[in-house]
């Protein structure tokens, strides 16, 4: 592969999905999330505040995250051109707009970049390889379910294929999988964000350890998510040690033979470094590429590819495309930065949400198992399980759309990415797990209900017997009965007192038995008696991951 060939244009958005532990953050900032205020409604106030995090050089230098809602919708606006390719119901759900009457469950933020000196992302490894690229876009997507996606955009045109592939492969790393990676040059020895001579964030990967199941996340990522504290588990990364490179590369139309183009595209798609031929077995690679590549426009020199860890666009040349003229802008670049970018965000949101659900289902199942193992199901765990099912129902009914766009090409792109992410498989699996959990809880509740009915029947019989006995003694019998029980004389007073004692004993025993049954089954009754209309925080402040 002619790796020394120049790249005409390269754009990459490094996408980092994470999930916020809303309960931990909300309990740490009660001024922004008082009882009954939703998570999404408090985000703007929190991010604008001065106490959302400790001092951060990035926040000080760049001004922090600011709301970036769509506000203009004329024919040539980016909002119009981005939204028009999606179904109307999708526009209402996945576009943060300032229309005054739309309460979306999504917030989009951006960070303003310096106007004079560029914000540079630099990296080098122990083998002397390095790159320095300007950061051209910083965006943050926060969803109502706590999932977030950080997007770091870079762009350059002054590199070779070898340098472009190295950048994508190295700069996506957010933590090493072992110390060997750094020693062998498979992660950067140093990665930093700078403005002029000022270093805003730096990571060397020299040390690190897993703490409470969380890996040592890159300080570059932590500095951009300055409003969250990674050390106290306010958020956690969802995928593996890599960000998702959503990348576009345009090379010279005379790059080489068709075989050379296939070799380049395979290394670009699977985020490998440069080299001769395919990185893997040729037969295996070609079979995989048939599944992961979209070649509708290959005859015009445009290739798309989707894997679980990449989303790439390769174009031969920067030129007119059919009726699309270059004087109106580069069509491939425009689609890459517009609707395809948004579809990549949505697909990634689906996968991140479903993986978060998978973790929560496991944690809730463990709590229920521990309860059922001792035969005492705590009501708070039942409520957590109910809320989890409700959240999944909201995801399936509100967020999830199998057909996101309204044209074949967009639909095919989105569905290929979702297949690579195994979105539908994960959704069906979690749906089945929640159904099984619900069935188990229903069976348990049915058993408890049967026991409660049996207790009630037993108490009813006992109290009924007491009522019969009282009525019997209250009847106006005469003669001998009256003489012994109601109007005793000197020779019958002992019988009268014995009857009173017996009836008193029976009555007191019945009352004590009723009190005992209520006391030992108080868990079943206290939630029935509490005031349902009183505002309560319930377990929305309960961190499932931290266990309290």
Q: Identify the pLDDT of residue 181.
A: 86
CA dihedral (271, 272, 276, 282) in degrees, to 10, reads -70
- Per residue in 65-99, pLDDT (tens digit) is 999 888 778 887 778 888 888 898 888 889 888 76
Distance of CA 64 to the CA centre of its chain: 23
Section 180-209 average pLDDT: 90
Q: Identify the pLDDT of residue 246.
A: 97
Q: How confident is the model at residue 535 (pLDDT cuts 50, 70, 90)?
A: very low
Higher-confidence residue of 407 and 453: namely 407
- Per residue in 449-482, pLDDT (tens digit) is 787 777 777 777 777 766 776 666 666 566 666 6
- Per residue in 108-142, pLDDT (tens digit) is 999 999 888 899 999 999 998 999 999 999 999 99
Reading the block at residue 331, the tokens are 């069509």
For tokens 């995090």, name the residue: 53
Handedness of CA 441, 443, 446, 448 (dihedral sign): negative
- Per residue in 344-403, pLDDT (tens digit) is 999 999 999 999 999 999 999 998 888 888 877 887 888 888 889 999 999 999 999 988
Q: How far apart are CA 166 and CA 2, in angstroms?
A: 15
**Residue whose C-alpha is closest to residue 545's, from 316, 338, 394, 362:** 362
Residue 253 has pLDDT above 70, yes or no: yes
Q: How confident is the model at residue 443 (pLDDT cuts 50, 70, 90)?
A: confident
3-state SS, 306-352, equals EECCEEEEEEECCCCECCECHHHCCHHHHHHHCHHHHHHHHHHHHHH
Q: Is 533 exposed, middle or buried (0-12, 13-18, 19+ CB in 10 A)?
A: exposed
Q: How far apart are CA 156 and CA 249, in angstroms?
A: 10
Higher-confidence residue of 448 and 210: namely 210
Handedness of CA 265, 153, 203, 18 (dihedral sign): negative
Q: Identify the pLDDT of residue 211.
A: 82
Higher-confidence residue of 487 and 118: namely 118
Average pLDDT, the chain: 85
Higher-confidence residue of 540 and 267: namely 267
**Number of Cα atoms under 13 Å in the Cβ half of residue 166:** 22
Choice among 160-169, 443-452, 483-492 with the minimum mean pLDDT = 483-492
**What predicted TM-score, i.e. pTM, was given to this entire model?**
0.86
Q: How far apart are CA 363 and CA 135, in angstroms?
A: 39
Share of the chain above pLDDT 70, in %: 87
Strand partners, 244: 15
Q: Identify the pLDDT of residue 60.
A: 86
Higher-confidence residue of 475 and 202: namely 202
Please report, for residues 264, 278, 295, 382, the alpha-carbon distance to residue 282 in angstroms, rounded to integers and kept in the order given: 13, 6, 19, 53
Residue 505: enclosing H or E segment and its boundaries? helix 493-520
Reading the block at residue 47, the tokens are 């991010």
Q: How far apart are CA 325 and CA 323, in angstroms?
A: 6
Higher-confidence residue of 421 and 299: namely 421
Q: Identify the pLDDT of residue 539.
A: 41
Q: How far apart are CA 138 and CA 195, in angstroms?
A: 15
Q: Are residues 108 and 69 in contact, defined by beta-carbon separation less than 8 angstroms?
A: yes
Section 514-523 average pLDDT: 76
Q: What is residue 10's three-state secondary structure?
A: strand
Reading the block at residue 217, the tokens are 């996340």
- Per residue in 409-425, pLDDT (tens digit) is 999 999 999 999 999 99
Residue 536 has pLDDT above 50, yes or no: no
């Amino acid at each position: 592969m002619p790796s020394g060939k120049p790249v005409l244009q390269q754009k990459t958005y490094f996408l980092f999905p994470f999930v916020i532990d809303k309960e931990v953050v909300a309990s740490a900032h009660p001024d922004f999330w008082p009882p009954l205020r939703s998570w999404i409604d408090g985000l703007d106030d929190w991010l604008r505040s001065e106490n959302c995090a400790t001092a951060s050089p990035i926040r000080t230098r760049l001004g922090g995250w600011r709301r970036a809602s769509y506000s203009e919708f004329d024919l040539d606006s980016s909002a119009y051109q981005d939204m028009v390719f999606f179904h109307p119901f999708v526009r209402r759900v996945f576009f943060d707009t300032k229309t005054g009457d739309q309460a979306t469950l999504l917030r989009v933020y951006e960070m303003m970049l310096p106007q004079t000196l560029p914000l540079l992302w630099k990296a080098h490894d122990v083998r002397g390889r390095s790159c320095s690229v300007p950061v051209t876009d910083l965006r943050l997507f926060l969803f109502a379910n706590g999932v977030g996606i950080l997007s770091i955009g870079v762009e350059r045109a002054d590199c070779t294929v070898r340098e472009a592939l190295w950048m994508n492969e190295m700069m996506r790393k957010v933590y090493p999988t072992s110390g060997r990676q750094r020693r062998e040059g498979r992660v950067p020895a140093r990665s930093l964000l700078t403005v002029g001579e000022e270093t805003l964030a730096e990571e060397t990967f020299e040390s690190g350890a897993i703490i409470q199941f969380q890996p040592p996340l890159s300080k570059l990522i932590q500095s951009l998510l300055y409003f969250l504290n990674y050390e106290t588990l306010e958020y956690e990364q969802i995928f593996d040690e890599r960000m998702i490179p959503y990348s576009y590369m345009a090379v010279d139309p005379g790059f080489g033979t068709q075989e050379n183009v296939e070799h380049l595209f395979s290394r670009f798609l699977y985020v490998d470094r440069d080299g001769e031929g395919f990185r893997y077995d040729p037969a295996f690679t070609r079979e995989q590429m048939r599944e992961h590549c979209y070649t509708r426009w290959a005859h015009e020199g445009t290739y798309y590819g989707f894997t679980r860890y990449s989303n790439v666009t390769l174009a031969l040349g920067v030129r007119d495309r059919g009726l699309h003229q270059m004087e109106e802008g580069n069509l491939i670049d425009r689609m890459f930065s517009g609707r395809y970018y948004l579809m990549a965000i949505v697909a990634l949101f689906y996968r991140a949400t479903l993986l978060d659900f998978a973790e929560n289902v496991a944690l809730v199942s463990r709590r229920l198992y521990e309860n059922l193992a001792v035969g005492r199901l705590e009501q708070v765990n039942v409520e957590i399980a109910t809320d989890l099912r409700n959240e999944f129902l909201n995801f399936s009914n509100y967020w999830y759309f199998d057909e996101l766009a309204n044209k074949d090409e967009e639909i095919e792109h989105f569905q290929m990415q979702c297949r690579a992410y195994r979105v539908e498989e994960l959704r069906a699996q979690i749906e089945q797990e929640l159904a099984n959990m619900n069935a188990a809880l229903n069976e348990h509740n049915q058993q408890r209900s049967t026991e409660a009915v049996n207790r009630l029947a037993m108490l009813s019989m006992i109290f009924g017997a007491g009522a019969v006995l009282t009525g019997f003694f209250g009847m106006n019998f005469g003669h001998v009965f009256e003489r012994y029980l109601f109007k005793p004389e000197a020779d019958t007073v002992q019988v009268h007192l014995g009857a009173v004692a017996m009836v008193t004993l029976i009555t007191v025993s019945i009352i004590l038995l009723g009190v005992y049954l209520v006391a030992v089954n108080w868990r079943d009754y206290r939630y029935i008696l509490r005031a349902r209309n009183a505002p309560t925080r319930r377990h929305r402040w309960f961190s499932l991951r931290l266990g309290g």
